[in-house]
Copies of this chain bind each other. A is one copy, B any other.
Amino acid sequence: MKALIFFGHGARDTRWREPFDRLAVLWRAQHPNTRVELAFLELMEPSLEEAISLQVAIGATEVVVVPVFFGQGGHLRNDFPVLLSACQDQFPEIQLSATPAVGEDEAVLQAIIEFSARTL
C-alpha cells in the first residue's frame, strides 16, 4: 500500500503549519485511498521518522515523501538525503522514496504567477 508524506521545514510559530494542514485536508478529500501524513525537519512534530512509523503502522509498504520547499538548498541537498537514508535503514521492510521539491514543479510556479497576476 502506497502512502504519502508532505515534508516541511517547520517553524516556532504554530500558525506556520496552516498551509500544510490544508494540504493534508485537500489530499484526503481528493485521494482518500492514499493515506497522507505531515512531517517536519525541525521545530515541529512529527519528525519524518515518526510520520513514516505512523504510515507503517497502518500498513504502508511504500512511502513517498514530498518536500514542500521552494528552493533546494542545504536542508534538501545535504540534511534530507541523510535523514531519508537513516529512515530507510530503520524501516527496511518498506520502499521509501522522495520527489523533487515542489518548487521545482512548473505548474506550482505557474500557480504562483497567476496568484500574483490576480493581485495587480
A residues with CB within 8 A of B = 2, 4, 6, 8, 11-13, 15-20, 22-23, 26-27, 30-31, 34, 64, 66, 68, 70-74, 77, 99, 101-105, 107-117, 119-120
A116–B103 CB distance below 8 A? no
Q: Give the CA-CA distance A73 to B40 in the complex, in Å.
A: 14
Tell me the interface secondary structure of chain A in the complex.
Answer: helix
Please tell me how many copies of the chain the complex holds.
2
Residue of B at shortest CB range from A66?
Answer: B116
Q: Are A99 and B115 in contact (CB under 8 A)?
A: yes
Task: Say whether A77 contacts B112, CB under 8 Å.
Answer: no
Give the contacting residue for A19; candidates B22, B26, B109, B117; CB below 8 A: B109
Alpha-carbon separation in the docked complex, A74 to B16 (Å) = 8
B residues less than 8 Å from A104 (CB atoms):
19
B-side contacts of A16, CB under 8 Å:
71-74
* B19 and A103 form a contact (CB under 8 A): yes
**How many whole Å from A70's CB to the nearest CB in chain B?**
5
Whether the pair B113, A105 counts as a contact (CB closer than 8 A) is: no
A109 and B72 contact, CB distance less than 8 A: no
Given A17-B71, A71-B8, A119-B99, also A26-B110 (CB < 8 A): yes
